[in-house]
Structure 1
Amino acid sequence: MIPAYNETAHLGNLIESIRHNLYDLDLEIIVVDNGSTDDTAELAQQAGTHLVKIPKDSISKARNIGAATAAAEVIAFIDADVRLTRSWAVTMKQRYPEIRDHYMITGSRYMIPENPSNLDKYWFEPLSEKEVTYINGGNLILSKTSFDKIGGFDEALSTGEDFEFCVRGRNRGAQINIDRELQSIHDGFPKTLLQFCKREIWHGIGDFQGLHRFLESKVAIAAVVFVLIHLFFIGALLSKAYLTALFFGLLLLLISFAVSRKIFRNSSLGIILHNTPYCYFYLISRFLSLPKLLLNKIS
């Protein structure tokens, strides 16, 4: 089941990877065109997929509609900018009875593309090796029975719906089984700093959708504190309190390093130092999720 919004750049590669690697699996490819304004729907139709078109809505809504459309006993939620590997197909064939018959959510983190960018190598590849407690929504697999028992994705969430889904599933007794043999390649990782910032702004929106979600998000709280320190830094500069400004400037640098060390705690010092500047923009971007959310509500 593939949710897709303006995915002409990637959708064809995903469908080709499915045809090429999953040729011995009996499956249905469902594409939910989530209000695309490009040729996503036409591409999906020409590729012979089961196309469902809906007005633009949350990705959760698109996933839920796709799940309701599916006739199979097992549903694989795959994002349009992902490619599936032969390892995914072989593992899926082996695990199918277990996934079908057990109350569980499975899948795996993404692999980086064959020609990685700087961000791929230093940010996303180390992240893919971390131990996590949830499954990314772009490579998430479970039985239709398990999906219904958990209650589907929360359609009120703009982002973070996969994390919330897994937490709710675990709380309702589902097993979270991360299977690294279910390998997928993510072509949609940002390649530039601007793309990285836009991605993190979008990802952080869910953390500001209600006080409860904000208080549960250490990243959102850290981002707000980080921006407040910037205000103190600017205030000290304007007041010509240069020693105070130096203190706040060093504090910002220390926080960026500490966040990098926290995120990449199992990586080398070189990786942590390399990602310290990225963590600065990561925190700024996560704060900017708040005005982005407010602007979305106004519009």
Structure 2
Amino acid sequence: MIDDAQLEQAAPMGETVIQPTGHAPVPRISVIVPVWNRPADIERCIRSLQKQTLPQSDYEIIIVDNGSTDSTPAVARKSGVHVLVEPRPSSYAARNLGLSAARGDYVAFTDSDCTVDENWLAKGLEALDRHPDNAVVAGPIELFSENMPTSSSVCEAYERIFAFRQERNVARGAACTANWFCRTAVVRQAGGFRSDLKSGGDFDLTRRLQAAGYPVVYAPDALVFHPARATVSELCSKARRVIGGRMMMRRNRRNPLHWWAGLTIDTLRRFQTLFTERCPLVMRARLSILLVTLWLAACWEVLLITLGGEPRRA
């Protein structure tokens, strides 16, 4: 672990730190949100961030547009927040750009399709203050939709069982950047996110930080809300993106048999979890079919990448 004297303003992954201009008060924490073609979502996200109980002078909001081709940048600028543009197609490259511009002692990350509880920043800072060892703090990501929590939709039922198990992630030394806090200089010193990744970069960075001596802790009252995916297409897209990210992190493992075996084991474990859930027999059967569908989608992505295809972006 490095000491305070070594926590200098290093740019992530060799990038240039964007120096602040003017005489605006220095915030305590910087919130960074990457976005790509989500005008309605980013407007809702910013609105929730601007309603924090933390004094507005204590935080700044940095939106990083990741090459949107619609009205997303204009919607973000209309909200009066700091907007940057990262053209490289990677949400992690976008997060690194935001990190280079951050002026706060601490940094918080969430996603453009999320909304946050009004006490999110206050509770995140409380957790950081309880851990002067420069811990990574991760909070829960709760699903929402018009039909939750008793949805009859098989996709939303799947999400309720398997999506965003942040407490379990933390127990394994990882965390999703949908709800993620850390000291800014610590993340910069670690080199930031791997900008070559399109999925899995949050787990990669968190595990690197933990290996460097920074613990990962769970803050159950720092709440973020994420919409449940409502279609099979959305779930298949996520399954393909996730396996693509894993393959990019382990470029030396190009044998598709390795990845197909791993996907099969993971799917069997999900079947085991499914059959411990209390749900109607018909829903369990539909969820079983969905599990097989997602397994096939991920296996197809493995084949495409093995043959030279590019991983999908978020």
Q: Same fold (TM over 0.5)?
A: yes
> What letter is aligned with 1:131?
R
Shift of 1:276: 1.9
Counterpart-to-counterpart distance in 2, 1:136 and 1:120? 21
Which blocks of at least 5 consecutive residues in structure 2 are unaligned? 1-31
SS at match of 1:76: strand
Counterpart-to-counterpart distance in 2, 1:123 and 1:162? 22
1:10 corresponding residue in structure 2: 41
1:261 corresponding residue in structure 2: 271
> What letter is aligned with 2:292?
Y
1:213 to 1:165, Cα distance in 2 relative to 1, 3 A: farther
* Aligned partner (choices 59, 67, 71) of residue 27 of structure 1: 59
Is the counterpart of residue 162 in structure 1 residue 162 in structure 2? no
Is the counterpart of residue 288 in structure 1 residue 300 in structure 2? yes
Number of residue pairs aligned between Structure 1 and Structure 2: 264
Map 1:67-82; keep pairs closer than 5 Å: 67-82=99-114
TM-score normalised according to structure 2 size: 0.74
Tell me if structure 2 keeps the 8 A contact 1:109–1:135. Answer: no
Counterpart-to-counterpart distance in 2, 1:263 and 1:213? 28
Tell me which of the two structures has the higher relative contact order, counting C-alpha pairs closer than 8 angstroms and 6 or more residues apart.
2
SS at match of 1:10: helix
Shift of 1:176: 0.7
1:173 corresponding residue in structure 2: 213
SS at match of 1:20: coil
Tell me the C-alpha RMSD between the 2 structures.
2.9
1:9 to 1:213, Cα distance in 2 relative to 1, 3 A: farther
SS at match of 2:112: coil
Map 1:145-160; keep pairs closer than 5 Å: 145-160=185-200
1:86 corresponding residue in structure 2: 118
> What letter is aligned with 2:290?
Y
* Aligned partner (choices 232, 240, 258) of residue 193 of structure 1: 232
Counterpart-to-counterpart distance in 2, 1:198 and 1:22? 36
Tell me if structure 1 keeps the 8 A contact 2:127–2:219. Answer: no
> What letter is aligned with 1:177?
V
> What letter is aligned with 1:192?
T
Tell me if structure 2 keeps the 8 A contact 1:208–1:289. Answer: no
> What letter is aligned with 1:261?
F
1:124 to 1:91, Cα distance in 2 relative to 1, 3 A: same
1:62 corresponding residue in structure 2: 94
TM-score normalised according to structure 1 size: 0.78
Counterpart-to-counterpart distance in 2, 1:29 and 1:93? 15
> What letter is aligned with 1:163?
F
Counterpart-to-counterpart distance in 1, 2:33 and 2:43? 12
> Residues 74-109 of structure 1, C-alpha deviation per residue, up to 9 Å, x if partnerless?
10011100000124244134234346x432111223
2:18 corresponding residue in structure 1: none
Counterpart-to-counterpart distance in 2, 1:73 and 1:256? 39
Counterpart-to-counterpart distance in 1, 2:200 and 2:278? 28
2:6 corresponding residue in structure 1: none
1:251 corresponding residue in structure 2: none
> What letter is aligned with 1:198?
S
1:205 corresponding residue in structure 2: 244
Counterpart-to-counterpart distance in 2, 1:192 and 1:114? 12
Tell me if structure 2 keeps the 8 A contact 1:17–1:83. Answer: yes
Counterpart-to-counterpart distance in 2, 1:205 and 1:103? 31
Shift of 1:265: 7.6
Shift of 1:64: 0.7
1:123 corresponding residue in structure 2: 158
Map 1:107-146; keep pairs closer than 5 Å: 107-115=138-146, 116=148, 118-119=153-154, 121-127=156-162, 128=164, 131-132=168-169, 133=172, 134-146=174-186
Tell me if structure 2 keeps the 8 A contact 1:154–1:161. Answer: yes
SS at match of 2:209: helix
SS at match of 1:135: coil
Larger Rg: 1
- In percent, how many aligned pairs have the same letter? 19
1:92 to 1:167, Cα distance in 2 relative to 1, 3 A: closer
Counterpart-to-counterpart distance in 1, 2:70 and 2:226? 21
Counterpart-to-counterpart distance in 1, 2:43 and 2:88? 21
1:106 to 1:273, Cα distance in 2 relative to 1, 3 A: farther
Shift of 1:214: 6.5
In proportion to residue count, which structure has more helix? 1
Counterpart-to-counterpart distance in 2, 1:290 and 1:284? 10
Counterpart-to-counterpart distance in 2, 1:76 and 1:60? 14
Counterpart-to-counterpart distance in 2, 1:54 and 1:276? 40
Which blocks of at least 5 consecutive residues in structure 1 are unaligned? 227-254
